[in-house]
Amino acid sequence: MEIFNNLMHGFSVAFALDNLMWAIFGVFMGNLIGVLPGMGVLAAISILLPLTYTMTPTAALVMLSGIYYGSQYGGGITSIMLNLPGTASHAVACLDGNPLARNGKAGSALFMLMFSSFCGASVGILAMILFSPLLVDVAFKFGPAEYFSMMMLGLLAGATLAKGSAIKGVAMVVVGLLLGVVGTDVNTGTMRFHFGILELSDGLQIVALAMGLFGVADFLKNINRIGGDSKVTSTKVSMKSMRPEAGDIKQSRGALVRGTAIGAAFGILPGTGPTIASFISYATEKKVAREPRRFGRGAIEGIAGPEAATSASTQTSFIPTMSLGIPGDPVMALMLGALIIHGIQPGPQMMVEHADMFWGLIASFWVGNVLLLLLNLPLIGMWVRLLTVPFRYLFPAALFFVCVGVYSTNNNLFDVGMVTLFGAAGYALIRLRFEPAPLLLGFVLGPMVEENFRRALLLSRGELSIFVTRPISLGFILACVGLIALLAVSALRQRKAREALRHAESAT
């Protein structure tokens, strides 16, 4: 009853005219930022942070939070329609969302994206309300050894994102790990693999990598279609076409539950975030599917699970920031900075000392997610009509937004050049039948894997046994061994199938 009373009080705070207007502004800006390729939420919050100096703490946090989770909705739209991930966490949505759009199911794909996002966000908010103290205790049990083992499991699971050979998937993960170590070592300050190029001292930009591997590479793949018309000719989008079919809903129910659980779990762990959660969710759905070959060709579960995971992780990532004062990612670090600017110190006592702001923020999450549904559902028809634009207009316009978005991240033309380079490399990988998604996961996790491995060895004074003497870490290590065994068995089966096919062809 106390929680219910607190939540009702939170809604009274969230519906205050000042807070409600800033919530609307935040979710609208976040949605717009997500739709525009390369216009990162981190840069947007950094630009708008000075605006919060004259605002109340509650209004400031409501607006910044709206930008954050609003971008998660918008980022999936370009992933589905143009194969351009608006944010890194939506790179997975390209794998099945874009094939669905090109097969004339863009309306149902976008509806499932929004429905999954809303369900994941709602469960994430409930987790914040009901389980914050418990989730904080769980987060405290994770040290460097546990994080390293968990991320190794994530890397191995990422190898399964490849459509074909598991060996190619592992190879892409390794390439991503190598790209992730480019730049300045955070522990020693030594510059690594920069080849005398000063711009590489801060490492490669994930926006440039994602835009190049997915967006520009896809443009190069379809360059011969620029002179022709769009593949989709119908511009009529009825409400019936927006709804997934009955079979799609049945297939997506399990994915929604699993994706939401994965996202909520990863969101409370500092340093993980929605990107890792979405990749893990996709790998999980591919593993449990009866027909894994459907993934990458338009499987509706490939949208439902990762999008639910992304939204759930986005919401629960506020738990360590608000309850422990530990930001899980750079965006949460900016949120923490906004609180400190207003003289508020996040911590276990925040729910008591700043109850109005804490419960008002939680209530605003639901208000904001409903606003995003109301904002996006009427616009599905407009997004679908993007596919009817002739490629000779669509591709140059999208490339323009890619270049502007990447340039705006650091105001550096070098990043635009990197997008071009990664685009050419991504096209070569596609031609060689290598999937870019595992590479992106390796790039995201690589620096964190290295950092936690070194921290664990420092704590154990060089003893590798720390990874198997701690129960949680041992559990992840055993899961890694089991996954390697599954990958080996899968590779052997594929090899035997190819040999049998060759024998059959030679016999005929």
- Tens digits of residue pLDDT in 173-219: 889 888 888 888 877 778 888 888 888 888 887 778 877 887 788 77
What is the rounded distance in angstroms from the CA atom of residue 440 to the CA atom of residue 457?
A: 26
Q: Tokens 């607190």, residue? A: 6
**Per residue in 289-322, pLDDT tens?**
777 778 877 888 888 888 888 888 888 877 777 7
Over residues 260-287, the mean pLDDT reads 79
Element (H, E) at 503: helix 471-507
Dihedral angle of Cα 313, 319, 320, 324, to the nearest 10 degrees: 180
Does residue 300 contact residue 252 with C-beta atoms inside 8 Å? yes
Does residue 316 contact residue 268 with C-beta atoms inside 8 Å? yes
Residue 119's pLDDT is what? 85
What Cα–Cα distance (Å) separates residue 103 from each residue in 164, 247, 250?
22, 17, 20
Q: Which of 486, 386, 423 is nearest to 169 (CA)?
A: 486
Distance of CA 242 to the CA centre of its chain: 24
Q: Which of 393, 438, 398, 394 is nearest to 419 (CA)?
A: 398
pLDDT band at 235 (very low <50, low <70, confident <90, very high): very low
List % helix, strand, coil for the chain (3-state, nearest 5).
Answer: 80, 0, 20
Task: Supply φ then ψ for residue 373, to 5 degrees.
Answer: -65, -45
Q: Tokens 């870490």, residue? A: 473
What is the rounded distance in angstroms from the CA atom of residue 266 to the CA atom of residue 279?
A: 11
Residue 233's pLDDT is what? 42
Residue 240's pLDDT is what? 60
Residue 367's pLDDT is what? 86
What is the rounded distance in angstroms from the CA atom of residue 73 to the CA atom of residue 419?
A: 24
Residue 442's pLDDT is what? 81
Mean pLDDT (the chain) is 77
pTM value is 0.67
pLDDT for residue 1 is more than 70: no
User: ∠259-277-407 over CA atoms, to 5°?
Assistant: 130
| Domains of the chain by residue range | 2-507
Residue 234's pLDDT is what? 45
Residues 6+ apart with CB under 8 A from 40: 33, 87, 207, 405, 409
What Cα–Cα distance (Å) separates residue 68 from each residue in 78, 328, 387, 465, 478?
17, 13, 27, 40, 35
Over residues 371-397, the mean pLDDT reads 70
- The DSSP call for residue 368 is H
**Per residue in 32-71, pLDDT tens?**
777 765 556 766 676 677 677 778 888 888 888 888 888 7
Which stretch of 118-127, 225-234, 400-409 has the lowest confidence by average pLDDT? 225-234
Residues 6+ apart with CB under 8 A from 222: 391, 395
Over residues 414-424, the mean pLDDT reads 88
Residue 133's pLDDT is what? 60
Residues 6+ apart with CB under 8 A from 180: 203, 204, 442, 443, 444, 445, 446, 447, 450
Element (H, E) at 184: strand 183-184
User: ∠264-28-267 over CA atoms, to 5°?
Assistant: 10
Residues 6+ apart with CB under 8 A from 301: 96, 251, 252, 254, 255, 285, 289, 295
